[in-house]
Structure 1
Amino acid sequence: MIKSKKIKALLMTMSLSLLSIQSVHAASYTVQSGDSLYKIGRLFSTAANTIMQNNNLSSTLIYPGQVLKVSSQTYTVKSGDSLYLIAQNFGVSVDSLRKANNKWDNLVYLGQTLNIPSNNYTSVSPNSGQVSASVISHTEAEIDLLARLIKAEAEGQPYTAKVAVGAVVVNRVQDSRFPSTVTSVVYQKDAGYYQFTPVVNGMINKPATAEDRKAALEALSGADPTKGALYYFDDSTTNKWLWSKTVALRVDRMVFSYY
């Protein structure tokens, strides 16, 4: 009888805990400085174009303070909780939990609802020179391929431009409108034309430098100075279609733009 009561009490406690966890498809996320749809998508394991559709956005431009609907599991804080314990229970880092909730102190209160980030999310510091876990799958050969593309497209340009070239490829891999691997993006043909000039003129075959490889690894780890660009071109181009795109970043003679 005593054992039965203990089991019932345990089951009741588990049930109450489970009630604190919700699966919500329209949680709210407040855009922070430096955010992009791509970065927010990584945080919640959602494609950038899905976030655009769910929020009726006509472009990838977002601004700090903007509230977006995101697909996220949420958790309601209960007695005895802390950020550390919540992060530990969900298998995520405290940093990513803070990021998902724009919360930079340690205070949580009973009944507070928190967004739970993807447990595959890795924070990236673009200027640190440190390489974190990759945000997309790739092979060693694809690191070299991306580095060679960076060399061909941004040789002689500032280092930021090199990382940005790599980021455009990563952004395309992440976008459902483009192929899903580094190799297929670099060698993609559209209407019979290759997307990247170095593939056509053979510059893609020139060996990359150590700096080119470093830029490739940073881009693969999620560093993106463009905040989501999908195109780049030289500012001397007269292509009206390219100039019709929203400019995301200019570095020296290179222009990076959104879809």
Structure 2
Amino acid sequence: MKRLNKAGVLAFGVLLSVTFSTISASAADYTIQKNDSLYKIGRLFDTPVKTIKSNNNLKSNTVYPGQVIDVKAKTHKVKKGDTLFLIAKKHKISIGALRKANNKWNNEIEPGQKLLLPAKNKAPKVKKAAAKTTKASTKAKKTATKSVIPYTQKQFDLLARLITAEASGQPYDAMVGVGAVVVNRVQSKEWPGNITKVINHVPAGYYQFTPVLNGTIKNPATDIAKKAAKAALNGSDPTKGAMFYFDDSATNEWLWSKPLAIKIGNMVFVY
């Protein structure tokens, strides 16, 4: 067999490397996390469960923490100056989904590190029947035109009442931050898909928002809370992607163990 000279070997190696990169660009390793399911993973990477099962030769829907499976996902190679927030913003994905895709719950990343990119959030489909909406719902849609998530006037009022109950007397940015946490959850695939469902979410009997439990959510919203709600809905987020908040007098170790996003007044925001 004819030997390749050094230049030929180098060229062949480069070609092989490029070819391999092209083939593997859409395939990535995902490590199963606690409470994961194929359904959740499918939503995270916008891939049907049957496709995940087929690609991994899985005979059932059962998966285990620590198990590694192949998923179809793009990757981002971390560069100097990158942060999880900036990466999420660049690729138009939620920081919560980015953390979930990489099981990355702190903010430590290094140049050269490769991160899996979850699928982008899809805009909700609008049914044709929506053309026959009432004047009230049409007005609500116009109100939400500039918002980062869709919402109705009723949902806007609910968000403003939550902000009133949770952050009255706190700096304005803290009030916006409370609204932003709700918006971030709506945008994340790990939480319900609209404001009402996020605020009233009670997984395993655990209320996510104390005002829903103690009834203060029913109190009227203040004008400044409405202003803060509007700002959050239009994309303002002083927390840069936080998913939780609590008062600094809280003693919950689980909350305090989460990566800190920012502290504003007495309000602590974490990822």
Quickly name the TM-score band, shorter chain normalised.
0.5 to 0.7
Report the CA distance shift for 1:241/1:67 in structure 2 as closer, same or farther (over 3 A): closer
Given the alignment, which residue of 160, 179, 185 partners 2:198? 185
Compute the displacement of 1:51 (Å).
3.4
Give the letter for the 2:243 counterpart.
Answer: L
Given the alignment, which residue of 52, 58, 73 partners 2:104? 58
Given the alignment, which residue of 21, 46, 50 partners 2:93? 46
Which digits, 9 at most, give the CA deviation of each residue in 1:48-93, with x for residues without a partner?
Answer: 4553466x35126367988876869xxxxxxxxxxxxxxxxxxxxx
Report the CA distance shift for 1:210/1:186 in structure 2 as closer, same or farther (over 3 A): same
Quote the residue 1:230 is aligned against: 243
Q: TM-score scaled to structure 2, two decimals?
A: 0.55
- Write the distance in 1 (CA, Å) between the matches of 2:214 and 2:95: 32
Report the CA distance shift for 1:155/1:63 in structure 2 as closer, same or farther (over 3 A): farther
Greater helix share, structure number: 2
- Write the distance in 1 (CA, Å) between the matches of 2:106 and 2:237: 14
Quote the residue 2:176 is aligned against: 163
- Write the distance in 1 (CA, Å) between the matches of 2:80 and 2:160: 31
Give the gaps of 5 or more residues in structure 1: 1-22, 73-116, 121-130
**1:36, 1:228 within 8 Å by CA — same for their partners in 2?**
no
Give the letter for the 2:104 counterpart.
Answer: S
Quote the residue 1:16 is aligned against: none
Give the letter for the 2:223 counterpart.
Answer: A
CA RMSD, 1 decimal: 3.5
Quote the residue 2:226 is aligned against: 213
Runs ≥4 residues deviating over 3 A: 23-33, 39-54, 62-72
Give the letter for the 2:93 counterpart.
Answer: T
SS at match of 2:211: helix
Identity %: 45
**1:248, 1:256 within 8 Å by CA — same for their partners in 2?**
yes
Which digits, 9 at most, give the CA deviation of each residue in 1:26-66, with x for residues without a partner?
Answer: 46686878x754x7546544344553466x35126367988
1:58-137 aligned within 5 A: 58-59=104-105, 61=107, 133-137=146-150
Given the alignment, which residue of 128, 131, 138 partners 2:151? 138
Give the gaps of 5 or more residues in structure 2: 1-25, 27-72, 124-143
Compute the displacement of 1:193 (Å).
2.5
- Write the distance in 1 (CA, Å) between the matches of 2:242 and 2:212: 20
- Using CA pairs under 8 Å that are at least 6 residues apart, name the structure with larger relative contact order, 1 or 2: 1
Compute the displacement of 1:214 (Å).
1.1
**1:44, 1:70 within 8 Å by CA — same for their partners in 2?**
no
- Write the distance in 2 (CA, Å) between the matches of 1:69 and 1:245: 20
